[in-house]
Amino acid sequence: MTVIFRLAGVDGEATEDRVETLADAEAQAEALQVQRRESLCQVFGEIGGVASVVEHLEALISDRGQEGSMEVLDVLLRIAQACSEAAATRRQLVDLGGMQALLAH
């Protein structure tokens, strides 16, 4: 990033735009991350990923106590959480019965 510093004279001879505050780089990075997650979730929903997550959640309900089911459940819950944060897949999650599957477990 190039920074140009020039004092404005009393008679207003400086012509560069004044910058009162600098944008927070961390906030910009976070906004970019949210936008990226939204687009990834949208693609995930388009290829049938939300339906697959709901299907596997329902299967885990019937397989309680099976070895490794808690690890799979942990991953599925993280994916479901990401899907619920994106508007594109939130509706799919509700329509496909994802909330009932989550509440039943």
Question: In this structure, what token pair is assigned to residue 4?
Answer: 């140009």
Chain segment 63-89, per-residue pLDDT in tens: 766 777 788 888 988 999 988 888 889
Model pLDDT, residue 25 = 80
Q: What is the pTM of this model?
A: 0.65
Share of the chain above pLDDT 70, in %: 79
Contact criterion met (CB below 8 Å) for 44 and 89: yes
Res. 50 pLDDT band, cuts 50 70 90: very high
Q: Tell me the torsion sign for CA atoms 43, 46, 48, 50.
A: positive
Contact criterion met (CB below 8 Å) for 73 and 105: yes
Whose CA is closest to 99, among 66, 50, 64, 41?
A: 50
Chain segment 8-25, per-residue pLDDT in tens: 665 666 666 776 777 778
Please indicate whether residue 32 or residue 102 has the higher confidence score (pLDDT). 32
Residue with tokens 């001879």: 13
Whose CA is closest to 52, among 32, 25, 72, 38?
A: 72
